[in-house]
């Protein structure tokens, strides 16, 4: 009887200890790139792995049609203003069908930055974009680009924020 209670107590303690580990999600780290981040949900699947010729990484949220995430490293002038960096990217986005600029938001994680939101139409569906511009030093901005169905992207905003908050440079 005492042995059963001891075993049951031990199983309970192990289960409680495992909960935080399960809640952490998956880590991304690769020797080819100089950054890491945490994925809060195992639904995120890598579909482009960084290589020596292309240091970009891309993930999908289940399926590319449900959400797409990619990271780009931008080299900017030492005195570049974040609004100008965002305006340069926005000029590329303006050619998307049904493009409508959204608001910019200040963002703070390990790095301070700005989030740029927008909407567009693709394949007859209302889509959205949420781009995080994170300045890691005087001349480097990492752009975390999330796109997907407008309503779906809104539903996983806590996850996109979490990924951006955990983004770190090695």
Evaluate whether residue 103 is within a structural domain.
yes
CATH number of the domain where residue 119 is located? 3.40.1000.10
**Cα–Cα distance measured from residue 159 to residue 155, given in angstroms and rounded to the nearest whole number:** 9
Confidence (pLDDT) at 22: 42
Mean pLDDT of the 149-161 span: 97
Q: List the domain range (segments joined by +) for residue 124.
A: 26-169
> pLDDT grade, residue 2 (50/70/90)?
low
How many structural domains are present in the chain?
Answer: 1
Query: pLDDT for 101-116, tens place per residue?
Result: 999 999 999 999 999 9
Q: Quick check: is 157 in a domain?
A: yes
Q: What is the pLDDT of residues 20-78, one digit of tens each?
A: 444 446 999 999 999 999 999 999 999 999 999 998 999 999 998 999 999 999 999 99
């Amino acid at each position: 009887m005492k042995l059963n209670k001891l075993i049951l107590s031990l199983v309970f303690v192990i289960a409680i200890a495992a909960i935080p580990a399960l809640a952490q999600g998956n880590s991304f780290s690769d020797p080819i790139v100089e950054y890491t981040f945490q994925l809060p949900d195992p639904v995120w699947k890598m579909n482009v792995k960084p290589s020596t010729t292309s240091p970009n990484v891309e993930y999908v949220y289940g399926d590319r049609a449900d959400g797409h995430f990619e990271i780009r490293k931008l080299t900017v002038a030492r005195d570049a203003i974040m609004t100008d960096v965002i305006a340069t990217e926005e000029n590329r986005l303006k050619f998307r069908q049904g493009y409508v600029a959204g608001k910019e938001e200040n963002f703070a994680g390990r790095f301070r930055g700005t989030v740029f939101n927008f909407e567009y139409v693709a394949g007859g569906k209302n889509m959205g974009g949420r781009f995080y511009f994170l300045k890691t030093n005087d001349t480097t901005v990492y752009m975390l680009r999330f796109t997907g169905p407008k309503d779906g992207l809104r539903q996983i905003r806590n996850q996109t924020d979490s990924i951006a908050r955990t983004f770190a440079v090695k």
